[in-house]
Amino acid sequence: MEKSRLEKQLEFIKEIDKEKEITRQTYLASGSRKENDAEHAWHLAVMAYLLSEYANEEIDVAKTMLMVLLHDVVEVDAGDTYAYDEEGKLTQRAREEKAADRLYAILPEDQGQFLRDLWEEFEARETKEAKFARTLDNFQPMMLNAATDGRAWKEHEAKLSKVLKRHAITPEGSKVLWDYAKENFIEPNLDVTLIKDTELE
C-alpha cells in the first residue's frame, strides 16, 4: 500500500535524526567534545538570521536558514568529509549525490524535489543565498577553532596555505565576515596552532 503524505514526511524526519550521530572535526567552543552535524546546522541557521546584515547582497533570510539547516543531511549516508581530507574529497560528490537520491526520495515528490534543489543550489554556490550560506559554513568552524585555541587545526597540523585555499570562496558571501575571521580567528593562531607556510594577505 502506498504510504500517505504524512507517513512519508515522518519517515524522512526520523531518518534525518541520524544526523545527530555524525561527528565533525570541530570542537564545541567549550572544548568539551566535538560537535555533530545537527548542532552545526542549528548553529548556522541562527547565524544566518543574526548575521544576514553582513551579507554582500541582501538575502532571503528564511531561505538561507532552511538551506543551512539541510545542507549536511546527505552526510547521514555519505559521512562527514573533513575540510582538509584531500583523499576523501575525491569521492565526496559521488557519495553525497547517492545519498541525496535516497534521502529526498523518501519525501512526497514536491517536497523532496524542493529540498534536493535547495541542496544543489548550496553546492553550486551561484546565488546570493548560497554564497552567504557557504560563508557561514566556513566561518563557524574558524570561530570555534579560535575559541579552542586552534585545537582542531593543531590536531590535523593544518597549514595556512590550505586554510587560505579553502577560504578563497568565503568572501563571496560576506567580505565583512571574512575580514573579521582573518584578523580575529586566523592571525592570532599563526605559528601557534596553525602552521604558517605562506603569507596572510
- Would you say residue 13 has pLDDT above 80? yes
- Would you say residue 1 has pLDDT above 90? no
pLDDT at site 44: 98
- Would you say residue 37 has pLDDT above 80? yes
Q: What cell was used for 97?
A: 549525490
Which helix (H) or strand (E) element contains residue 83?
Answer: none
Q: What cell was used for 43?
A: 548553529
**Contact of 73 with 120, CB cutoff 8 Å:** no
154: pLDDT confidence band, cut at 50, 70 and 90?
Answer: very high
pLDDT at site 194: 86
Is 110 or 2 the better-scoring residue by pLDDT? 110
Instruction: Dump pLDDT digits (tens) for 156-195.
Output: 889 999 999 999 999 999 999 999 999 999 999 998 888 8
Query: Euclidean distance between the first and final Cα of the chain, in Å?
Result: 61
Angle at 111 between CA 110 and CA 113, to 5 degrees: 70
The Cα 20–Cα 6 span in angstroms is 22
